[in-house]
Structure 1
């Protein structure tokens, strides 16, 4: 997803456009991979003195609900990234050091769905964690 698409989604869903929200989305559009709320707060603190974790988390969770951001848990902490914007279903490899992601085209559900006769699977998540070549 690109920055303009994310801002359009906010407007379409009836949420106010603010400079803070634009700056949050700008932060995520400028990085490749998952980032923490702490990293975002450090970035935002340069411009917004006294910005609280509450404001940051409220916006992160709003953006997650609107599918502007994706989230995952790394090392016991929630991490966020700008949604891929891919139309096709896919999963990710996530570097545990730098948060960089790589798309995985294959979906394991294609192979294990037969193990669930009579079940309705409504959603799933598959991620592989490790170290990217730069972090090894």
Structure 2
């Protein structure tokens, strides 16, 4: 997907298309790492916009989360990470030693018995597996 796709989503909500918002989206689209901290986003953006504050990054990330464009991830005791919502719904396995994560391409909620959630409307859920990756076990 391209930045234009997300710009149209912002415009449809009547939001300004600032150069900073465009750059935040570009950082996620061009990054080889799908999970970025606000500080990592900020570091990449300040190469082009040296005056942009970390607070501005956080405000824009919050806005993009509320719009469903970005997802905030919490991998335990680590700081929040963010990813672009351009893939199917997924979960993660996280190494407790090095912090690397691997996406799980299925949702365990789909395997729950429908009777378990019969009188409950699931609005949001998270499922993360914590352990030690193969590299750290060596």
TM-score by length of 1: 0.78
Partner of 2:92: 93
For 1:68 and 1:46, locate their aligned partners in 2 and report how far apart those are by CA, in whole Å. 23
User: Which protein, 1 or 2, shows the higher relative CO under an 8 Å CA cutoff with sep ≥ 6?
Assistant: 1
TM-score by length of 2: 0.77
Partner of 1:52: 53
- Contact 2:91–2:126 (8 Å) recurs in 1: no
- Contact 1:33–1:99 (8 Å) recurs in 2: no
> Which residues of structure 1 form unaligned runs of 5+?
none
For 2:136 and 2:16, locate their aligned partners in 1 and report how far apart those are by CA, in whole Å. 39
Match of 1:108, SS? helix
> Which residues of structure 2 form unaligned runs of 5+?
none
| Aligned pairs for 1:2-41 within 5 A | 2-31=2-31, 32-41=33-42
Structure with greater strand share of residues? 1
Q: Any idea what the Cα deviations from partners look like across 1:30-77, whole Å, max 9, x if unmatched?
A: 123210011111111112223212111100000111111111113331
For 2:2 and 2:99, locate their aligned partners in 1 and report how far apart those are by CA, in whole Å. 21
**How many residue pairs end up in the alignment?**
133
